Amino acid sequence: MFDFLIQGFDVALTPLNLGLAFTGALLGTLFGALPGIGPINGIAILMPLAYTLGLPAESALILLAGVYTGAEYGGRMSSILLNVPGDAGAVMTTLDGYPLAKKGLAGPALGLSAISSFVGATIAIIGLTLFAPMLAEVAVLFGPAEFFGLMVFAFASMSVMMGNDPVKTGIGAVLGVLVAMVGVDSGTGVMRYTLDMPELYDGVDFVVMIIGLFAISEILLMLEHAHSKKAEDEMPPVGRVMVHIKEVMYCKWAMLRSSIIGFIVGVLPGTGASVASAVAYTTEKRLSDKDNTFGTGDMRGLAAPEAGNNAAAVGSFVPMLTLGIPGSGTTAVLLGALMLYNITPGPMMFTERPEVAGGLIASLYIGNIVLLLLNLPLAGLFAKVLTIPRWALVPGIAILAFVGVYQLHSSLTAIYMMLLIGVVGYALRKLGFSLAPIILGYVLGGLMEDNLRRALSISGGDMGILWQSGISIGLWIAAALLLLMPLIMTKLLPGKSLTHT
């Protein structure tokens, strides 16, 4: 295990990868600070640029992982200063973060959130280091039937845990699977949903899909709200950012408990930072809120979700690296990035491409320290990003999106496809759909079909192979329990919905 980590630091400490880790952390913080941009849009914009620049796979992943973890840090700024979550994982931060800012404690709140994020991410990175190689050894026992059962479990957990509406989440996942089926069937050579368009014979490109679905739809939403009130008119002054040791010690148990909760939740496929922050906050409220101060500006109510969502962000790398299953919408995008380099995430990656897995884990240690050093003294400077007017922000994002897709494909058809997907994504968001399940369905759909084909090929068409092993049976039972959980909880807790508790 330690030899593996030392090898990872050999990769992460090269001048190129150190620079990329710093760049990713800086850009991620800026992307996270802007409401609505978040890690997925940041990665979607930078991924084609990293690929066309010819960066090695491990370097590209270090850059994109830095953006991911940096955005989790940056997302707290608009939550605390404007009461506007930077992304879904920062929703719970607004409950006590904004009241603290209204009390004149915006600076200490930003500082405490940075320290809480550091603690949560550090504990999760240690967990990733300890458990990922061990889980990879267990995952070697998985065959096609077991991987198919794992995909079913991932879809079940996603439909129950992601978002407030399991039905819409399930519909989104199905849409993603349908998009993944477009193109020539690799098994039979049959054209599927290509509309006789040669451009669709190879399917819908991942980069086109991700940039259209997230970046273009976000641009359309920004244009819709172009006349909203300016951030600089309502943002409170930051003041001192450094936190007193007494304030940190007051929140130490909240940070530790929430970090462990966030890591466990993050490891579960399809959950992500939003679920982790909600579970961490509600758990801490039940344990510590003796005087009903949560929601009025309690620092423990700020530390808990910040530690939880950052721990979950790192925890979501565990299933991605060891099983090839994205732990969140953002790691689904990172999974697609690896596939651009013809790397299949899973247990064999630790032996076949140790420089990729080890370099990523080592870079998380480095990037987490960089983020703390950036966010404590420069929080007030980063907060200025919130004052960028939309008339300057929208064209900038649009240029990066168009350049990224055109550099990769040199085709106007790809641009038109990106715009069409963007309009569809915008419509789905207006209808209350989360876009992350669509990407998860798109990424997992192809893997699910491939493993089903392999399993049936091994068994000669006998479906019984899908539940012959103990691992497969356990995964099917777990998936069924997850799907039945809302009904069970409704019976146990009348009048309460699982997704809102």
What is the chain's mean pLDDT, rounded?
Answer: 79
Instruction: Answer yes or no: is pLDDT of 239 > 70.
Output: no
Instruction: Answer yes or no: is pLDDT of 453 > 70.
Output: yes
Are 120 and 315 in contact by the 8 Å Cβ rule? The answer is: no
> Average pLDDT in the 220-240 region?
61
- Residue 231's pLDDT is 43
Give 494's pLDDT tier (boundaries 50, 70, 90).
low
Choice between 389 and 74, residue whose per-residue pLDDT is larger: 74
Are 312 and 420 in contact by the 8 Å Cβ rule? The answer is: no
Instruction: Answer yes or no: is pLDDT of 379 > 70.
Output: no
> Average pLDDT in the 139-149 region?
77
Reported as a single tens digit per residue, the pLDDT across 120-141 is 999 999 988 888 777 777 766 7
Percent of the chain with pLDDT over 90: 4
CA angle (468 as vertex; 462, 471 as ends), nearest 5: 135
Cβ count near 429 (within 10 Å): 17
Residue 213 CA: distances (Å) to CA of 159, 168, 198, 229, 390: 19, 16, 22, 26, 20
Whole-angstrom distance, CA of residue 495 vs CA of residue 501: 11
Strongest mean pLDDT among 105-109, 363-367, 378-382? 363-367
Strongest mean pLDDT among 41-55, 98-112, 410-424? 410-424
Reported as a single tens digit per residue, the pLDDT across 150-177 is 778 777 766 655 555 777 878 888 898 8
Instruction: Answer yes or no: is pLDDT of 497 > 50.
Output: no
- Residue 35's pLDDT is 61
Whole-angstrom distance, CA of residue 283 vs CA of residue 96: 15
Whole-angstrom distance, CA of residue 337 vs CA of residue 334: 5
Give 464's pLDDT tier (boundaries 50, 70, 90).
confident
Global pTM value: 0.71
> Average pLDDT in the 22-32 region?
86
Least confident of 46-55, 104-113, 157-166, 323-332: 157-166
- Residue 437's pLDDT is 79
- Residue 293's pLDDT is 83
- Residue 320's pLDDT is 82
Whole-angstrom distance, CA of residue 424 vs CA of residue 416: 12
Give 230's pLDDT tier (boundaries 50, 70, 90).
very low
Are 71 and 329 in contact by the 8 Å Cβ rule? The answer is: no
